[in-house]
Amino acid sequence: RKEVEQDPGPFNVPEGATVAFNCTYSNSASQSFFWYRQDCRKEPKLLMSVYSSGNEDGRFTAQLNRASQYISLLIRDSKLSDSATYLCVVNGGTGANNLFFGTGTRLTVIP
Amino acid sequence: NAGVTQTPKFRVLKTGQSMTLLCAQDMNHEYMYWYRQDPGMGLRLIHYSVGEGTTAKGEVPDGYNVSRLKKQNFLLGLESAAPSQTSVYFCASSYRTSGLLEQFFGPGTRLTVL
C-alpha cells in the first residue's frame, strides 16, 4: 500500500471555478502534512502546510482529518496560473524527517 | 541567495558508467535529501543527511551512494548506472526543527541511462 494516495486527475476546470483535491495517507503516526505545487518540468515548491484545525491562505484552504487519515485542498476562484500538479505530502511518522509524496493531481484551468 | 543548486542539469550515461550529482545549498540548512521522480511513482527518497558527515538510507537506496563532507554540499553517486536509474533527480534541503519542516528543492537533474 502506498504511503500517500491521490487521485491523479487530470482536473480540467474553467477560470473562476472551485476545485477540490483529496488525498489519504496510511501511517497514523504521521504528524506533518503539506501541499506542494509542481509546475511542468520544474521542482516542487511548498504551497501550504496543513494544520489540524484547517487553514486558509487566500483562495486556498487545506483540511486535515486525522481519524480518517484524509487531507484536502480547496481552490476557489481558479486562475490560469493555478494550472500545475498538486502534491500531497506527509512525514514518515513521529519526529521523522523523511517525507512521502503522493503522485500528484494535475490541474488545468481553462480560459 | 541561490537557494539549492544542482549540477549537471542533464546527463546521458551508458549502462555501467558511473557519475556523481552535486547538490549545493547556501541557506545553512542542516538537512539535505536526494529524491528521484518517475512517472506514476511520485518523488521517492533515496538518501538523506541530518548533518555534515552523516547520511542515512531512504526508501530506494540501492545502486546509489552519498556523501556529505561539507554542510552545504550533498553528493549522489551512481556506481554502475542501469537503465532503471533513468529518472529526474531532485535535491532538497531544510532546517532542523522539531515541528513542521519545509523542504526547498533544487531544479533537478534529468538523467538518461542507455
| Residue B49 near residue B30, CB atoms below 8 Å | no
Q: How would DSSP label each residue in A19-72?
A: EEEEEEES-TT---EEEEEE-TTS-EEEEEE--TT-EEETTEEEEEETTTTEEE
On the question of pLDDT at A24 being above 80, the answer is yes
Measured distance CA(A68)–CA(A43) in Å, rounded? 30
**pLDDT tens across A35-84, in order?**
999 999 999 999 999 988 889 999 999 999 999 999 999 999 999 999 99
Question: What integer pLDDT is reported at residue B97 of this predicted model?
Answer: 64
* Contacts A–B by Cβ distance under 8 A: 49
Give the mean model confidence (pLDDT) for residues B17-32: 95
What's chain A's average pLDDT? 92
Give the mean model confidence (pLDDT) for residues A14-21: 97
Please judge whether A101 and B103 are an interchain contact, meaning their C-beta atoms are less than 8 angstroms apart.
no
Please judge whether B108 and A102 are an interchain contact, meaning their C-beta atoms are less than 8 angstroms apart.
no
On the question of pLDDT at B63 being above 80, the answer is yes
